[in-house]
Amino acid sequence: MSAFLALLSRDLRLAVRQGGALGTALGFYMLVVTLLPLGLGADLNLLSRIAPGVLWIALLLAALLSLGRVFSSDYEDGTLDVLATGRLPMELVVGAKALAHWISTGIPLALMAPVLGLLLNLELSAYPLLFGTMLAGTPAISFIGAVGAALTLRAYRGGLLIALLVLPLYVPTLIFGMAAINGLLGASGTMSAFLILIALSLASVVLCPLAAAAALRLQMQ
């Protein structure tokens, strides 16, 4: 457990001090959301209707940007070899790194979403819902993304490849994220989609480290 926490805090410190990753993701998120009204036209009614979807999709893309770095920098400088020979099982190494990615990227992006909602004329009552569903859905994004990052560790053009491999796997998260907002916003206020979204996140937290660790072990040999 202490090794897990040590790795987690190391990755978080690196994310904060190394700079670049978080700022880039947030800047990308802002820019995508800024560009969309320019492309779609500045009709405020239209924008407020599509705002949750736009914010979710832009969040997926922004999180994707930083996924390539989850393992590759550690692989290049040999840290991953040290971790592989250490006491901590590879599954937990993956878990710590994906968790660090969620804390350092997923949560800031979710925090940013309501601010960007202002630009899109999102109604004020939707803000807590948007933030809540993103907080519930982003763990799935980080952990499923970790599988993609592990699979493409030694691939050419890893960054582009991750998008191709991982975006189809994000479909359930996106659909239930949107369904959760619509369900909670609707007159009936149903929780079912929100609960399924949480289930998706929890299941990916458990299952994805297994696949990612298997992929990493193959490449460490």
Partner 1 sequence: MQQGYLLASAGLPVVHLRFSAQPLRSFSMTQTLTQRLANPTRFMELSASVLPWVAGAAALVIGYGLYLSFFVAPPDYLQGETARIMFIHVPCAWLSMAVYAIIAMSSFGLLVFRHPLADVSAKAAVPLGAAFTFLALVTGSLWGRPTWGTYWVWDARLTSVLILFFLYLGLMALRSSIEDEALASKLTAILALVGIVMLPIIKFSVNFGNTLHQPASVIRAGGPTIDTALLVPLLVMAVGFTLMFVAMHLKAMRNEIMRRRVKALQLAEVERAQASQLAAAE
Binding site for partner 1 (CB under 8 A): 147, 151-152, 154-158, 161, 164-165, 167-169, 171-172, 175-176, 179, 193, 200, 207, 211, 214-215, 218-219
Q: Based on CB atoms, which residue is closest to partner 1, 8 or 196? A: 196
The residue (of 35 and 164) whose beta carbon lies closer to partner 1 is 164
CB of 213 vs partner 1, minimal distance in Å = 10
What minimum distance in Å lies between the beta carbon of 164 and partner 1? 5
Nearer to partner 1, 61 or 175 (CB): 175
CB of 173 to partner 1, least distance (A): 9
Nearer to partner 1, 21 or 146 (CB): 146
* Shortest CB 154 distance to partner 1, Å: 6
Q: What distance lies between CA 179 and its chain's CA centroid?
A: 18
Phi-psi region of 139 (alpha: psi -120 to 50; beta: other; left: phi over 0): alpha
Two tokens at 163?
């998008």
Contact by Cβ (8 Å): 52, 122: yes
Q: Is 157 left (phi over 0), alpha (psi -120 to 50) or beta?
A: left
Q: CA 28, CA 8: separation in Å to the nearest integer?
A: 25
Contact assessment for residue 114 and residue 158, using Cβ atoms and an 8 Å cutoff: no
For helices 107-119 and 44-67, what crossing angle results, to 10°? 160
User: What is the smallest separation between the CB atom of 108 and partner 1, expressed in angstroms?
Assistant: 26
Least Å distance between CB 144 and partner 1?
Answer: 8
Comparison of 104 and 133: residue with beta carbon closer to partner 1: 133
- Which residue, 72 or 104, is less far from partner 1 as judged by CB? 72
What is the number of other CB atoms lying within 10 angstroms of the CB of residue 179? 17
Q: Any alpha helices (H) in the chain, and if so which ranges? A: 2-18, 21-40, 44-67, 69-76, 79-85, 90-101, 107-119, 127-151, 158-166, 171-185, 192-220
